[in-house]
Structure 1
């Protein structure tokens, strides 16, 4: 994930001190921006990029199209939320129980970007947060689910129509929320896709404006860049710039126009760039297995 911010130093402090990220110096070489700072959770990276200072910070509603938020999970939500608030975050609400066994809340970081914080079952004593998913909001859920399902080679888990729940309204800071969602799990973290029917998600968004503050792109580690580029095209995507021979990365777009970075790290001798070298790249699967083991036998 990449996040464009106006104040990289402040954002670095927030994401490390409040949300459990640690420095990932090896990954900074993957950015073209000199001021970029690479951070990591146990299973995924977050690249902080300089935003265009002439563009204003916008308090975008969570139903606006584009890459809308990231979600972290932890067995101990209170310390995370308290640290976030102490370092300038504002909550839509205190954590809320939706009846799923989790607690949920949306927090806005000091630059108004949305971070979903989920409290999961205490399956282990370690309170270290991890990245659960990146969220993309779309005006055409069926199309975007089809694209990412083909691209990632996984089937989506789909929600029913979610509506008539004041708890959803409170979490989202919206009125009369109606939405559908889908989740894809390609490995180290999930991709969450949502379409709001009320308030309706439109096709246009300022999130994709070049240099705009906010979540800028999602990145996927691939093996064989040329083949991965062809696969992205066949899946229904396109390219911002045509990939060049010998390149190690290519900038693509999903059908909505959200930026997708494909990274072929085979040419780099530094293994520390790879997801597999992170502290716990399979933590989402490990959590699911541990939670299932706690469930009573039917």
Structure 2
């Protein structure tokens, strides 16, 4: 069974600079560095002709980040990183409602077309791009615990030309159905956040234990199908889900005809396998094999993670009660 979102993968051109950026505002802390060998098994697992890479694993509140600098990265055509382009499009970091995180990341090298703004939900929103142009969303929340001073991972967003097909797939993978969906735009407030004109889109969300999956399909500008994701291409390159029984999850996905790169295998203090969703995005399923490997449960029990989870649960319960009373 899938227990949560473990980490998001990012392929970068400069590993050292990426570590500096993502640790600059204490959103993540560097846990360890590693190397990926250009072996036949790694080439098969990653579906690459050259698997050689330097890597770094960064720990954050309620979700982690895995960075890769592939040796073959300069040989690959970069993917389209437009807000509405299909693929793993952004991650979201939440904090209190203020410009503190925004200003700090801009000082560290991020760029943005606008400052944080509201959409009428009570939250603040802004899209920024890291020094290599990868998209992040910063979201200020009214329920942020006063004694939590570092941002936390909230969701990863996938943009797709077929939102029904993709949400059905991730419901199968995770065992969790969509809990909210809707259509949005055109509206100046959405244009302001996205940095586009007259955008119209549909969205859907599924809620895992520690964070959410967010899905978008743009009608204007239209989200078009794209080529299969190459893991070495710079950009957000995979989503990793934690499992408490990786052999059972592998067999279950195989039985449903899901494209998988190979059976579970050992890597460090975990067992894992990779596969593809219907859009060609790469996902990973990982099961920690020792207590040395960080788990979703540990993220939820860690001091900051526990405080955030308690505060957002209370906030969601309050919203649900208000809807029920209405």
> Does the TM-score normalized on the shorter chain lie above 0.5?
yes
Q: SS of the residue aligned with 1:273?
A: coil
Name the CA distance, whole Å, in 1 between partners of 2:34 and 2:216.
32
Deviates more, 1:68-77 or 1:121-130: 121-130
- Runs in 1 of length 4+ with deviation above 3 angstroms? 28-34, 54-59, 233-236, 244-247, 280-285, 292-298
Native 8 Å contact 1:123 1:291 kept in 2: no
Name the CA distance, whole Å, in 2 between partners of 1:286 and 1:271.
25
1:95-138 deviation per Cα after TM superposition (whole angstroms, max 9, x unaligned): 11100010000000000000100000144212310000001111
Q: SS of the residue aligned with 1:238?
A: coil
Could you say which structure has the higher strand fraction? 2
Structure 2 counterpart of 1:243, from 257, 263, 268: 263
Q: CA RMSD in A?
A: 2.5
Alpha-carbon shift at residue 31 of structure 1 (Å): 6.0
Q: Aligned residue pairs: how many?
A: 292
Native 8 Å contact 1:44 1:281 kept in 2: no
- In the alignment, is residue 82 of structure 1 matched against residue 128 of structure 2? no
Aligned to 2:121: 100
Alpha-carbon shift at residue 67 of structure 1 (Å): 0.3
TM-score norm. by structure 1 comes to 0.89
**Structure 1: segments with no counterpart, 5+ residues:** none
Q: SS of the residue aligned with 2:183?
A: coil
Aligned to 2:240: 219
TM-score norm. by structure 2 comes to 0.81
Native 8 Å contact 2:124 2:140 kept in 1: yes
Deviates more, 1:221-230 or 1:108-117: 221-230
Native 8 Å contact 1:271 1:277 kept in 2: no
Aligned to 2:276: 253
Aligned to 1:67: 88
- In the alignment, is residue 14 of structure 1 matched against residue 35 of structure 2? no
**Structure 2: segments with no counterpart, 5+ residues:** 1-7, 38-51
Aligned to 1:151: 173
